[in-house]
């Protein structure tokens, strides 16, 4: 199986790109969705988070209040580092298990896309067959965050600064998808990237 790591900064459009790649036949694993699994009530990561932050971090159903947690970690790099330390290993383990299951089902054929927003921060860049970076300018990120996530410009900049610098992310790329335009333009960018991936994958796919 040919494994593509997909990454990009907040509000760069990774989810849309992963959806478009899935339409083309890629098997997509989203680390954000897996993160929700590893912090579900009663899971080891859930317990670590409650032990560290206290029960005030939980919602009425006893699940981790993701919005409340985000407020904390985006304003305190120490707390962000703690959260990453208890979630990242478990997310990657779950991702590995899902890939193993898929590999067994397909006999090692096909292309898997791992949507990993914090690929560089997790020091996982270069671990996969191909790295695809979705890129937009910081100004576009701020515009999208304030428009789509009900955040102030200050909150938007705080979230952007909490991630690895744009240049570091771009340096990890085998190919860059530029997402400053509309959906049709993005489709063309994804079409181009897919052809490159197919060429690199060769007879694996």
Residue-range domains of the chain with CATH: 2-204 (3.40.50.300)
Residue 106: name the closest of 33, 3, 195 by CA.
3
Q: Which residue has the tokens 């560290």?
A: 52
pLDDT value of residue 123 = 87
Q: What is the pLDDT of residue 74?
A: 87
Find where tokens 């191909």 sit. 130
Which residues have C-beta within 8 Å of that of residue 200, sequence separation ≥ 6? 2, 129, 130, 174
The Cα 13–Cα 79 span in angstroms is 26
Closest CA to 83 of 66, 60, 95, 96: 66
| Per-residue pLDDT, 21 | 98
- Show the low-confidence residues of the chain (pLDDT under 70): 203-205
DSSP 39: T
Look at residue 203 in the predicted model and tell me its pLDDT: 58
């Amino acid at each position: 199986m040919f494994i593509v790591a997909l990454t990009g900064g907040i509000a760069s459009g990774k989810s849309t790109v992963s959806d478009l790649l899935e339409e083309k036949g890629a098997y997509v694993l989203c680390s954000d969705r897996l993160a929700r699994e590893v912090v579900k009530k009663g899971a080891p990561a859930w317990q670590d988070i409650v032990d560290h932050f206290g029960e005030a971090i939980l919602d009425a159903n006893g699940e981790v209040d993701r919005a409340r947690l985000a407020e904390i970690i985006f304003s305190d790099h120490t707390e962000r580092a703690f959260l990453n330390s208890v979630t990242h290993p478990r997310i990657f383990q779950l991702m590995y298990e899902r890939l193993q299951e898929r590999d067994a089902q397909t006999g090692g054929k096909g292309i898997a896309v791992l949507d990993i927003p914090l690929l560089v921060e997790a020091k996982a860049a270069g671990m996969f067959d191909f790295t695809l970076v979705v890129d937009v300018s910081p100004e576009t990120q701020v515009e999208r965050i304030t428009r789509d996530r009900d955040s102030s410009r200050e909150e938007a900049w705080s979230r952007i600064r909490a991630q690895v610098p744009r240049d570091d992310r771009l340096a990890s790329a085998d190919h860059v998808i530029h997402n400053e335009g509309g959906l049709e333009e993005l489709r063309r960018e994804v079409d181009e990237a897919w052809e490159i991936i197919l060429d690199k994958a060769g007879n694996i796919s």
